[in-house]
Amino acid sequence: MNLLAYGWDDKWQAAFATCGNADLLPARVTTMYADRYEVVTEENIVKAHISGRMRYDNLYSAKNPRVGDWVALQPNPHGAATIIDVLPRVNCLERQGVFGSVEAQVIAANIDKCLLLQALGRDFNPSRLDRYVTMVWNTGITPVVLLTKADTVPIEEVTKNVKLLAGYLSGVDVLAISALTGYGIDKLLSLLAPKMTVAALGSSGVGKSTLLNHLMGGDVMVTAEVRGDDQRGRHTTTHRQMFMLPTGTLYIDTPGMRELGLFSYDALDETFKDIQAIATRCRFTDCTHTREPDCAVRAALRNGELPRQRWESYLKLKQEEHFHERRQILLAKQISNTRKKRQKVHYNDYKRGADRKAELE
């Protein structure tokens, strides 16, 4: 194995040097199954788990290793190696946890570009795409929108939807592709490079695994047909895994997402730069775009310059932002209470130990 091919460089070497243990090895997480991992070292690919100390110290799971992380590894010749530490991340894709959790769920770490896949046809939903683009911009990662299954719709519809998205997603490459016919794949490959790490995100059935199989030149992931009635797909990908493409690009395949709750809304203005530009034409700088005179946003809605669906998507995310801020206060309290509880236990244990020692004396 060659760690340089996986993105190892002087920057990561300097970060690893701070671990201060000559017995540790640098490694990159390539696969994650619940709490089990596969990591690549200079020698080979090995199975690993996190240390007990890491389980105790990490008050929330987002600090645990994820696919794409560089880690300090304690080798074990008789079984699974132990992950001792996670090197500081350059960035990470994260969303709100599911089932009402207020914690962040890290999808992947240390990403250069993020491929956002939507299938042309019934799955095509610009409002949902706004959410994905915002999540990616939040982390400083470059998004690339891929409209898949271009072979299933007329070319006029393909051109129309690419033009629609490119019109307001300023600075984002929008490509239509077909992994079955090869349409648009050359344009995608021109955006990728050796040692670059890309992550593929999208709903089930949009063709993430099919695209991976095409890029790998063989079947490395199981695929399944979508349902005919609603074009929904089944979760054929059940875990996150990093593959090295023949071109040298590192490709992270992820399970399909049924829902995507944003963990940060800092990039809303970046995602909706078209609306921000229109709002600068309003008569009042603090215009709420509801009843003020000479509102450019309302005028743009009337004359069709701003699509109604685009505006409603923006309003929905702004409302979620206010709700999310309240949830973050709850998360901060949870972490604070956990720390206080642990400190209290430590202090009481110390007192009891001191008392017992005094009694023995």
Q: Give the chain's domain count.
A: 3
> What is the rounded CA–CA span in Å between residue 258 and residue 235?
10
| Within a domain: 227 | yes
Domain residues for the domain of 225 are 92-253
Residues 144 and 70 in one domain: no
Non-local (6+) Cβ contacts of 250 within 8 A are 6, 7, 195, 196, 197, 198, 242, 243, 244
Residues 99 and 229 in one domain: yes
pLDDT of residue 359: 41
Supply angle C-alpha 160, 161, 167, rounded to 5. 90
Residues 154 and 233 in one domain: yes
pLDDT of residue 97: 65
How crowded is residue 244: how many other Cβ atoms within 10 Å of its Cβ? Answer: 16
Candidates 275, 303, 271; CA nearest to 287 is 275
What the block records as the tokens of 354 is 């001191």
pLDDT of residue 14: 94
pLDDT of residue 351: 42
| Within a domain: 287 | yes
Decide: 132 and 92 in contact? Cβ < 8 Å: no
- Residue reference for tokens 């619940």: 34
Amino acid at 141: I
| Within a domain: 177 | yes
| Within a domain: 164 | yes
> What is the rounded CA–CA span in Å between residue 292 and residue 299?
11
Q: Where are the alpha helices (DSSP H) in 220-283?
A: 268-271, 273-279
Instruction: Give me the average pLDDT of each 10-residue run along the chain (361 residues).
Output: 91 92 92 90 93 81 91 92 94 75 80 94 84 88 94 94 88 93 95 95 88 89 54 59 95 80 74 90 91 93 91 86 68 67 51 43 44
| Within a domain: 331 | no
pLDDT of residue 233: 45
| Within a domain: 358 | no
Amino acid at 182: G
> What is the rounded CA–CA span in Å between residue 30 and residue 250?
10
Of 43, 59, 86, which closes a domain? 86
pLDDT of residue 357: 42
Whats the size of the chain, residue-wise? 361
Residues 161 and 49 in one domain: no
Looking up residue 172, the CATH number of its domain turns out to be: 3.40.50.300
Residues 75 and 142 in one domain: no
Looking up residue 279, the CATH number of its domain turns out to be: 1.10.40.50
pLDDT of residue 54: 87
Residues 241 and 114 in one domain: yes
On the CB side of 264, how many CA atoms lie within 13 Å of its CA?
A: 16
pTM: 0.79
- For 53-91, strand residue ranges (E) read 70-74, 81-86
> What is the rounded CA–CA span in Å between residue 321 and residue 264?
8
pLDDT of residue 294: 93
| Within a domain: 315 | no
Supply angle C-alpha 192, 194, 197, rounded to 5. 65
2 secondary structure, DSSP code: -
